[in-house]
Structure 1
């Protein structure tokens, strides 16, 4: 029982420090923040801060690692075929938990993925998406031969997915996680041309180009 209380206290303290970091980054930017700023904002002493973090850079790094770790747990349960099945059944359950987690941590996620955030973290998120889902999807789903280089496809999809999440955060998360999960799956499953309603308009042109090429 004592251990559980201690664990909850540690989790609460870390959350307070991360919230302080978030507010201060919004106010003055990361580079101008001091440990004193953090401890005053979180209402803790310096000893408590240094018990968990070496400095503000370690705090930022560990906060980002925590986000990646939590997202890994969601993707660990997510199989590529689940996305297809959920779309066919119109039940985008697999990604809802991910968007719910982003919503629960919206203030930090919005900041860290925004203009005042950490560009390196955005690169890590894209790499995470690629290695934990997209590459697995390409290996496990049957598909026709690729029409473009795989590296270009991966770069496009990861940037597009991150862009959807960033837009959702920047615009106040007006759509619920269920709707966002459905939107992302539809874009991934059908492609931007199809969901934009342009498939039929572009098909003659594409077919014509193919005929000329042959």
Structure 2
């Protein structure tokens, strides 16, 4: 029982630190945030912070690693050969993930966020898309993959950012439909 209480306290502490970091990132880069500033904001002492993280960079890296692990699970649930609504259902789950992690995603994707976050995200998505591309298309189309992928992913990241910044007005399902339509129909979607 004591172990559960400790785990709960750790989760609450990490949640408070993450929330505080997210709030501070709305006004300044995470690189400019000090441990002292963060711990004062969330009313914890610095010693508590150092029980969990080496510094702010370590904290951001751990948060990103946890998010990427969860995101990888979302991506790997779907097999493009077995899912009739692929990629619509996958896109909807991605938007649900973003909605559940709205504050930290918005912070990390903002100008005050971690530029490396976007590159790491691209690499995770690239691996999944390349795998699916090879299942769905002939090998001689592999040369076109990087062009298509970079075009599509840059647009998707723009859509994610816009959706987060505009207050998640549309549901994840609506955003999945919009995203799929733009990917598949391109310019015809806005005519």
TM-score normalised to structure 1 length:
0.79
Residues 68-87 of structure 1: matches in 2 within 5 Å? 68-81=68-81, 85-86=84-85
CA positional deviation for 1:9: 2.1
Instruction: State the partner residue of 2:97.
Output: 101
Task: Give me the whole-angstrom Cα distance separating, in 2, the residues matched to 1:79 and 1:24.
Answer: 39
Task: Give me the whole-angstrom Cα distance separating, in 2, the residues matched to 1:67 and 1:51.
Answer: 21
Residues 1-214 of structure 1: matches in 2 within 5 Å? 1-81=1-81, 85-86=84-85, 92-131=88-127, 133-142=128-137, 146=141, 149-188=144-183, 190-197=184-191
User: Aligned residues, how many?
Assistant: 191
Task: Give me the whole-angstrom Cα distance separating, in 2, the residues matched to 1:178 and 1:117.
Answer: 26
CA positional deviation for 1:147: 9.6
Unaligned 5+ runs, structure 1: 198-214
Q: Secondary structure at the match of 2:119?
A: helix
Task: Give me the whole-angstrom Cα distance separating, in 2, the residues matched to 1:171 and 1:143.
Answer: 39
Worse overlay, 46-55 or 149-158: 149-158
Structure-2 change in CA distance of 1:139 and 1:60 (3 Å): same
Unaligned 5+ runs, structure 2: none
Instruction: State the partner residue of 1:206.
Output: none
Task: Give me the whole-angstrom Cα distance separating, in 1, the residues matched to 2:12 and 2:157.
Answer: 29
Structure-2 change in CA distance of 1:112 and 1:58 (3 Å): same
Task: Give me the whole-angstrom Cα distance separating, in 1, the residues matched to 2:32 and 2:57.
Answer: 12
CA positional deviation for 1:150: 2.5
CA contact (8 A) 1:168 1:174 kept: yes
CA positional deviation for 1:157: 1.7
CA contact (8 A) 1:17 1:38 kept: yes
CA contact (8 A) 1:80 1:136 kept: no
CA contact (8 A) 1:82 1:94 kept: no
Instruction: State the partner residue of 1:210.
Output: none
Q: After the TM superposition, which parts of structure 1 deviate over 6 Å for at least 4 consecutive aligned residues?
A: none
| Two-structure CA RMSD over aligned residues (Å) | 2.3
Task: Give me the whole-angstrom Cα distance separating, in 1, the residues matched to 2:28 and 2:88.
Answer: 39
**Bigger-Rg structure (1/2):** 1
CA positional deviation for 1:70: 1.0
What do the CA deviations read for 1:145-168 (whole angstroms, capped 9, x no partner)?
539733222211221221111111
